[in-house]
Structure 1
Amino acid sequence: MDGGEETALVTTGQEGCFRKVSLVAPDRRIYLWIGAEVDHRPPFFFWLKSAAKRRALARLKAAAAALRQAAAEEAVVFEALAVPPGRGDYLSQRPDIVVRPYDAVLLAAFATEAEARAWRDGPAAEGLMAELRAEARAADVALAVNGRRIGAVDHERPGVFLFNYFIAESRARNLAVWEHTAGWFQEKTGLDNSTLLVPQAGEAIPQSVINHCRWDRLRDILPALIIRPSFRSFVLRAFALNRTAAVPVLYRLA
């Protein structure tokens, strides 16, 4: 990833066919994201949970409870439901990238960077990551800011939550192509919320950005990804033309 110098967007020629995304101002919070890849399952069989997966979720939920008692404004744990279509072609050109369909995730939000860093660099986070890595295939942690926002993601009620893990040659172009295609999701799936997480400088994860959003039901999002031709001809093609790939995973509250 080049750090974001290149911003020129390559379009598909269909940019007038779909609505432009409607954005609100990003929030000012600092986000802590932790992802663990524990079980390797077929795309729609993440409901099968190993003992290691149950232990990982229990550890993340204990950490979330402690974070809510401490400095975090919120802390939520998610478990994977399915890996939907949507990776696109760019990953085939990047054999150096190891794709991680994280099946257990913690997302916390802090009012200040100092509070977030104090927890991430402290003994509680160190112990949690050591426990996760002892049993998981991989476990990653990063601090991020909100780079773009359609609306706040409601974590107070059940639903289908997306974490879309983007891999891109250019972060700036990744942001541009996300904004270019996000209106398609508003138009075709009724999406009214999204918090785009941009990892802070120096964070040791391969993802350029992570998009987080929510729908009420699986049927609100899955049919659009499977049966709408414009998802491939517009969304996935725009990603590929801009050397960007998404690794989408759908979750529920754990």
Structure 2
Amino acid sequence: MTKITDLKVVNKHLNYDRVSLVNPSTSNYIHIAAEIDKKLTPFFLTTSSRKKKLIAQCKKWCKELEKISGVIEINLFKATIIPPGLGEYVKENSNDVHIAKFDFAILIETHSEKVCEELKNKNIYEKMLEHIKRVASYTNIMSAYNIRRINNVNHKKKGVFLFNYFSAKNRQQNLMVWEYTAGWFEEETELDNSTLLFPLEEENAKYSIINHCRWDKYIDILPSLIFKKTFKKYVLDNFYANNVGAQPILYRVI
């Protein structure tokens, strides 16, 4: 576990237990995020016909890709809401940080980096990626491994899924402040799972890390983000003090 001795801590009077971590997964991942329907509000209430067609086609391609030896699972996600939590660091660096409005995402989990590379070379994967890029106004593809884990994210059970797109001046600082603040989510939202994705190609990654987790219902997470003052004082203020910005988006599995 990363030491937090170099962490810049604000509002020290607020004390939450350190996050409960298990050993990271040995899996490797490909995370694909795309902006299909441009939204001016935090709510993704409608789905365009072109996104419906894209999702239907991607589901077919992903079923074929799941047959590849070494692929553990592939899940598709459709965004439902952008919750409170956009970091001030992101707002102040909007010229350098892409404001995430990814309304469609795919997460591919494999047994190894080698399997990921084999998958990327498949015609079906190349065709799928080409089609997503053609339909989307913006895409982000990140190959990653799991660097921190509260527990596995269960995609077989319906629920509310988060992808939190972090930006930071320093990735180690990002990791430290995530560890420091994740205990808040365990206590205030009863979070019991999380897979923190760290980019394999750090220099080319648009986001420093991506956090992925799940709750059963919106009521498990949204009221805490909206009404609990400690969310800003303990979580967001410590992000900002450490030059870290979060961009959370909530999804449902398709």
- TM-score category (smaller protein): over 0.9
CA contact (8 A) 1:84 1:250 kept: yes
Contact 2:65-2:125 at 8 Å conserved across structures: no
The one-character-per-residue Cα deviations of 1:109-132 (angstroms, maximum 9, x if unpaired) are 111111111112433222212111
User: 1:236-247, aligned counterparts within 5 Å?
Assistant: 236-247=236-247
The AA in structure 2 aligned to 1:76 is: N
For residue 234 of structure 1, report the CA deviation from its aligned partner. Answer: 1.0
Residue 25 of structure 1 aligns to which amino acid in structure 2?
A: N
- Following the alignment from structure 1 to structure 2, what is the Cα–Cα distance between the partners of residues 198 and 22? 19
> How has the CA–CA distance of structure 1 residues 86 and 232 changed in structure 2, closer, same or farther, with 3 Å as cutoff?
same
Deviation at 1:59? 3.0
Q: Under a length normalisation based on structure 2, what TM-score does the superposition of the two structures give?
A: 0.93
Instruction: Tell me the equivalent position of 2:29.
Output: 31
Q: Tell me which of 52, 55, 58 is aligned to 2:53.
A: 55
Report if aligned partners of 2:14, 2:234 keep a CA contact under 8 Å in 1. Answer: no
Percent of aligned positions that are identical: 38
* TM value normalised by structure 1: 0.93
1:161 counterpart residue number: 161
Alignment check: 8 A CA contact 2:42 2:82 kept: yes
Structure 2 unmatched runs, 5+:
none
Match of 2:205 in 1: 205
Q: Using a 3 Å threshold, how does the CA distance of structure 1 residues 150 and 224 change in structure 2: closer, same or farther? A: same
SS of the aligned residue for 2:66 comes to: helix
Q: 1:193 is matched with which residue? A: 193
Using the TM superposition, name which of 70-79 and 37-46 deviates more. Answer: 37-46
What is the 5 A alignment of 1:70-109?
Answer: 70-71=68-69, 72-94=71-93, 95-109=95-109
Provide, for residues 200-230 of structure 1, a one-character-per-residue CA deviation record: whole Å limited to 9, x for no partner.
0257331110000000000000000000000
For 2:72, the aligned partner's letter is E
Distance in 2, matches of 1:121 and 1:101, equals 28
Distance 2:202 2:237 in 1: 30
Q: Kindly report which structure 2 residues correspond to 1:194-233, keeping only aligned pairs within 5 A, or say none.
A: 194-201=194-201, 204-233=204-233
* Contact 2:202/2:208 (<8 A) preserved: no
Which consecutive segments of 4 or more residues in structure 1 shift more than 4 A? none
Aligned residues: 249
Structure 1: segments with no counterpart, 5+ residues = 1-6
